[in-house]
Structure 1
Amino acid sequence: MTKTTRFQELRFEEVKLLEIEAPRMSRYLVINEDGDVMPKTNIQPGIPRVLLFMLGKILAKMLGFNTESTVTPGDISVLTNLKGEELSKLLEANPFIVYVGHGRYRINTWFLSQILDELEKLYTSSSNSDTVMG
Protein backbone atom coordinates (compact mmCIF):
# COMPACT_ATOMS: atom_id res chain seq x y z
CA MET A 1 0.00 0.00 0.00
CA THR A 2 1.46 3.33 -1.03
CA LYS A 3 1.38 6.47 1.03
CA THR A 4 -1.05 8.01 -1.48
CA THR A 5 -3.43 5.05 -1.13
CA ARG A 6 -3.37 5.23 2.66
CA PHE A 7 -4.40 8.87 2.60
CA GLN A 8 -7.00 8.55 -0.17
CA GLU A 9 -9.88 8.40 2.33
CA LEU A 10 -8.93 11.89 3.49
CA ARG A 11 -9.36 13.36 0.03
CA PHE A 12 -12.45 15.49 -0.45
CA GLU A 13 -13.51 16.18 -4.03
CA GLU A 14 -15.07 19.59 -3.65
CA VAL A 15 -15.61 20.13 -7.38
CA LYS A 16 -17.81 17.04 -7.67
CA LEU A 17 -19.95 18.14 -4.74
CA LEU A 18 -20.31 21.64 -6.16
CA GLU A 19 -21.33 20.20 -9.54
CA ILE A 20 -23.98 18.03 -7.89
CA GLU A 21 -25.39 20.97 -5.93
CA ALA A 22 -25.16 23.50 -8.81
CA PRO A 23 -28.93 23.49 -9.50
CA ARG A 24 -29.68 24.30 -5.86
CA MET A 25 -27.00 26.99 -5.70
CA SER A 26 -28.37 28.64 -8.84
CA ARG A 27 -31.62 29.36 -6.98
CA TYR A 28 -29.79 31.83 -4.75
CA LEU A 29 -26.94 33.38 -6.73
CA VAL A 30 -25.23 33.96 -10.04
CA ILE A 31 -21.70 35.06 -10.86
CA ASN A 32 -21.21 37.89 -13.35
CA GLU A 33 -18.36 38.10 -15.87
CA ASP A 34 -16.25 40.10 -13.39
CA GLY A 35 -16.55 37.32 -10.81
CA ASP A 36 -18.89 39.31 -8.58
CA VAL A 37 -21.40 37.36 -6.51
CA MET A 38 -24.93 38.46 -7.36
CA PRO A 39 -27.64 37.22 -4.96
CA LYS A 40 -31.00 36.45 -6.55
CA THR A 41 -32.87 37.56 -3.45
CA ASN A 42 -32.60 40.31 -0.86
CA ILE A 43 -30.61 38.79 1.97
CA GLN A 44 -30.26 40.87 5.10
CA PRO A 45 -26.87 41.17 6.85
CA GLY A 46 -25.91 38.07 8.81
CA ILE A 47 -24.70 34.52 8.39
CA PRO A 48 -26.93 33.69 5.39
CA ARG A 49 -25.41 36.60 3.47
CA VAL A 50 -21.89 35.56 4.49
CA LEU A 51 -22.47 31.95 3.42
CA LEU A 52 -23.94 32.99 0.09
CA PHE A 53 -21.05 35.37 -0.57
CA MET A 54 -18.45 32.74 0.41
CA LEU A 55 -20.12 30.15 -1.77
CA GLY A 56 -20.09 32.58 -4.67
CA LYS A 57 -16.38 33.26 -4.13
CA ILE A 58 -15.61 29.55 -4.51
CA LEU A 59 -17.76 29.30 -7.63
CA ALA A 60 -16.17 32.41 -9.16
CA LYS A 61 -12.73 30.89 -8.65
CA MET A 62 -13.84 27.58 -10.17
CA LEU A 63 -15.25 29.45 -13.18
CA GLY A 64 -11.91 31.19 -13.65
CA PHE A 65 -13.15 34.70 -12.82
CA ASN A 66 -11.15 35.10 -9.58
CA THR A 67 -7.93 33.69 -8.18
CA GLU A 68 -9.10 33.83 -4.56
CA SER A 69 -11.89 31.86 -2.87
CA THR A 70 -11.42 33.18 0.65
CA VAL A 71 -12.58 36.27 2.51
CA THR A 72 -11.16 38.49 5.22
CA PRO A 73 -12.70 39.37 8.59
CA GLY A 74 -13.31 42.82 7.08
CA ASP A 75 -15.43 41.27 4.32
CA ILE A 76 -17.40 39.31 6.90
CA SER A 77 -17.81 42.40 9.08
CA VAL A 78 -19.40 44.28 6.18
CA LEU A 79 -21.76 41.37 5.48
CA THR A 80 -22.82 40.92 9.13
CA ASN A 81 -22.52 44.43 10.60
CA LEU A 82 -20.45 42.83 13.40
CA LYS A 83 -17.00 43.82 14.62
CA GLY A 84 -14.39 42.78 17.16
CA GLU A 85 -15.38 40.21 19.75
CA GLU A 86 -18.90 39.75 18.36
CA LEU A 87 -17.43 38.86 14.97
CA SER A 88 -14.85 36.52 16.52
CA LYS A 89 -17.53 34.66 18.47
CA LEU A 90 -19.67 34.30 15.36
CA LEU A 91 -16.78 32.84 13.36
CA GLU A 92 -15.71 30.46 16.13
CA ALA A 93 -19.24 29.15 16.65
CA ASN A 94 -20.13 28.51 13.02
CA PRO A 95 -19.21 25.07 11.61
CA PHE A 96 -19.94 26.30 8.09
CA ILE A 97 -17.01 28.75 8.13
CA VAL A 98 -13.37 27.67 8.50
CA TYR A 99 -10.18 29.61 9.07
CA VAL A 100 -7.62 28.79 6.37
CA GLY A 101 -4.70 30.88 7.60
CA HIS A 102 -3.20 34.28 6.85
CA GLY A 103 -6.26 36.04 8.26
CA ARG A 104 -8.63 34.47 5.74
CA TYR A 105 -11.79 32.36 5.95
CA ARG A 106 -13.78 30.22 3.54
CA ILE A 107 -17.00 28.26 3.48
CA ASN A 108 -16.68 24.66 4.66
CA THR A 109 -18.05 22.89 1.60
CA TRP A 110 -18.07 19.60 3.49
CA PHE A 111 -21.39 20.95 4.84
CA LEU A 112 -22.65 22.26 1.49
CA SER A 113 -25.87 20.25 1.54
CA GLN A 114 -26.72 21.47 5.05
CA ILE A 115 -25.85 25.06 4.12
CA LEU A 116 -28.18 24.93 1.13
CA ASP A 117 -30.88 23.33 3.30
CA GLU A 118 -30.61 26.27 5.72
CA LEU A 119 -30.73 28.82 2.92
CA GLU A 120 -33.75 27.04 1.47
CA LYS A 121 -35.57 27.15 4.83
CA LEU A 122 -34.82 30.84 5.25
CA TYR A 123 -35.71 31.72 1.68
CA THR A 124 -38.93 29.68 1.72
CA SER A 125 -40.06 31.08 5.08
CA SER A 126 -39.56 34.62 3.83
CA SER A 127 -40.73 34.24 0.24
CA ASN A 128 -43.76 36.40 0.93
CA SER A 129 -41.55 39.36 1.82
CA ASP A 130 -38.65 38.35 -0.50
CA THR A 131 -36.22 38.82 2.39
CA VAL A 132 -34.03 36.31 4.18
CA MET A 133 -33.43 37.24 7.79
CA GLY A 134 -29.93 36.77 9.20
Structure 2
Amino acid sequence: MYEPIRTKSVHSTTAGRPSDFPHRSREEELDIQLAGHLAALLAVTDELRASAPSTELDTAADRLAGQVARLRGGPAPARLTAPADALDPTVLHQRAQALAGRALVVAASRADTAAAILSAERIDAHAAALHPQALAAR
Protein backbone atom coordinates (compact mmCIF):
# COMPACT_ATOMS: atom_id res chain seq x y z
CA MET A 1 0.00 0.00 0.00
CA TYR A 2 2.82 2.43 0.89
CA GLU A 3 6.10 2.77 -0.94
CA PRO A 4 9.06 1.93 1.33
CA ILE A 5 11.49 4.70 2.26
CA ARG A 6 14.59 4.31 0.12
CA THR A 7 16.80 7.06 1.49
CA LYS A 8 18.45 7.50 4.83
CA SER A 9 16.70 9.91 7.19
CA VAL A 10 18.41 13.24 7.71
CA HIS A 11 16.88 13.57 11.17
CA SER A 12 18.49 10.70 12.98
CA THR A 13 21.94 9.24 13.31
CA THR A 14 23.07 5.79 14.24
CA ALA A 15 24.20 5.54 17.83
CA GLY A 16 27.94 5.87 18.19
CA ARG A 17 28.47 7.42 14.77
CA PRO A 18 29.27 11.10 14.52
CA SER A 19 26.80 13.09 12.47
CA ASP A 20 27.74 14.84 9.26
CA PHE A 21 26.70 18.26 10.53
CA PRO A 22 27.64 20.18 13.65
CA HIS A 23 25.27 20.39 16.58
CA ARG A 24 25.02 23.20 19.09
CA SER A 25 23.71 22.81 22.58
CA ARG A 26 20.57 24.60 23.73
CA GLU A 27 22.73 26.96 25.76
CA GLU A 28 24.84 27.84 22.71
CA GLU A 29 21.71 28.52 20.67
CA LEU A 30 20.30 30.73 23.42
CA ASP A 31 23.61 32.60 23.67
CA ILE A 32 23.51 33.30 19.94
CA GLN A 33 19.88 34.40 20.09
CA LEU A 34 20.42 36.61 23.15
CA ALA A 35 23.52 38.21 21.63
CA GLY A 36 21.53 38.98 18.50
CA HIS A 37 18.69 40.64 20.42
CA LEU A 38 21.11 42.66 22.53
CA ALA A 39 23.11 43.71 19.45
CA ALA A 40 19.92 44.90 17.76
CA LEU A 41 18.99 46.78 20.94
CA LEU A 42 22.46 48.33 20.95
CA ALA A 43 21.98 49.51 17.35
CA VAL A 44 18.69 51.20 18.23
CA THR A 45 20.25 52.69 21.37
CA ASP A 46 23.06 54.13 19.25
CA GLU A 47 20.45 55.63 16.90
CA LEU A 48 18.73 57.23 19.88
CA ARG A 49 22.08 58.52 21.16
CA ALA A 50 22.78 60.10 17.77
CA SER A 51 19.43 61.90 17.74
CA ALA A 52 19.33 62.90 21.41
CA PRO A 53 22.62 62.39 23.29
CA SER A 54 22.42 61.59 26.98
CA THR A 55 24.70 60.06 29.57
CA GLU A 56 22.01 57.50 30.45
CA LEU A 57 21.96 56.23 26.85
CA ASP A 58 25.78 56.27 26.73
CA THR A 59 25.93 54.10 29.85
CA ALA A 60 23.24 51.74 28.54
CA ALA A 61 25.03 51.39 25.19
CA ASP A 62 28.32 50.57 26.91
CA ARG A 63 26.64 47.96 29.10
CA LEU A 64 24.87 46.42 26.10
CA ALA A 65 28.15 46.28 24.15
CA GLY A 66 29.79 44.54 27.10
CA GLN A 67 27.05 41.90 27.28
CA VAL A 68 27.16 41.26 23.53
CA ALA A 69 30.94 40.85 23.65
CA ARG A 70 30.63 38.46 26.62
CA LEU A 71 28.00 36.32 24.89
CA ARG A 72 29.88 36.20 21.61
CA GLY A 73 33.15 35.51 23.37
CA GLY A 74 35.01 38.04 21.32
CA PRO A 75 35.57 41.70 20.61
CA ALA A 76 33.02 44.43 21.17
CA PRO A 77 30.30 44.70 18.52
CA ALA A 78 30.34 47.30 15.75
CA ARG A 79 28.85 50.61 16.83
CA LEU A 80 27.17 53.48 15.05
CA THR A 81 29.76 56.22 14.61
CA ALA A 82 28.13 58.61 12.16
CA PRO A 83 24.80 60.30 12.87
CA ALA A 84 21.95 58.26 11.50
CA ASP A 85 19.05 59.63 9.50
CA ALA A 86 16.70 61.36 11.87
CA LEU A 87 14.01 58.84 12.76
CA ASP A 88 11.08 59.54 15.02
CA PRO A 89 12.29 58.99 18.61
CA THR A 90 8.93 57.44 19.50
CA VAL A 91 9.42 54.75 16.86
CA LEU A 92 12.96 54.10 18.09
CA HIS A 93 11.82 53.81 21.71
CA GLN A 94 9.04 51.40 20.69
CA ARG A 95 11.50 49.30 18.71
CA ALA A 96 14.00 49.32 21.57
CA GLN A 97 11.34 48.34 24.09
CA ALA A 98 10.26 45.39 21.92
CA LEU A 99 13.87 44.25 21.45
CA ALA A 100 14.55 44.53 25.17
CA GLY A 101 11.45 42.42 25.82
CA ARG A 102 12.69 39.71 23.47
CA ALA A 103 16.11 39.80 25.10
CA LEU A 104 14.49 39.50 28.53
CA VAL A 105 12.57 36.38 27.50
CA VAL A 106 15.70 34.69 26.17
CA ALA A 107 17.82 35.82 29.14
CA ALA A 108 15.23 34.42 31.55
CA SER A 109 15.10 31.07 29.76
CA ARG A 110 18.89 30.99 29.75
CA ALA A 111 19.04 32.01 33.44
CA ASP A 112 21.40 34.88 32.58
CA THR A 113 20.79 37.28 35.46
CA ALA A 114 23.02 40.10 34.21
CA ALA A 115 21.39 40.19 30.76
CA ALA A 116 17.90 39.86 32.27
CA ILE A 117 18.46 42.79 34.63
CA LEU A 118 19.89 44.94 31.85
CA SER A 119 16.99 44.06 29.55
CA ALA A 120 14.41 44.84 32.23
CA GLU A 121 16.08 48.18 32.94
CA ARG A 122 15.98 49.04 29.23
CA ILE A 123 12.29 48.10 29.02
CA ASP A 124 11.57 50.47 31.91
CA ALA A 125 13.71 53.26 30.44
CA HIS A 126 12.01 53.09 27.06
CA ALA A 127 8.57 52.83 28.66
CA ALA A 128 9.38 55.99 30.64
CA ALA A 129 10.44 57.74 27.44
CA LEU A 130 7.23 56.69 25.70
CA HIS A 131 4.87 57.40 28.60
CA PRO A 132 6.40 59.95 30.97
CA GLN A 133 3.02 60.71 32.54
CA ALA A 134 2.66 57.07 33.65
CA LEU A 135 5.79 57.33 35.79
CA ALA A 136 4.65 60.59 37.32
CA ALA A 137 1.46 58.85 38.49
CA ARG A 138 3.43 56.19 40.39
Provide TM-score, normalisation by structure 1. Answer: 0.33
Provide TM-score, normalisation by structure 2. Answer: 0.33
Counting helix residues as a fraction of each chain, which structure ranks higher? Answer: 2
Counting strand residues as a fraction of each chain, which structure ranks higher? Answer: 1
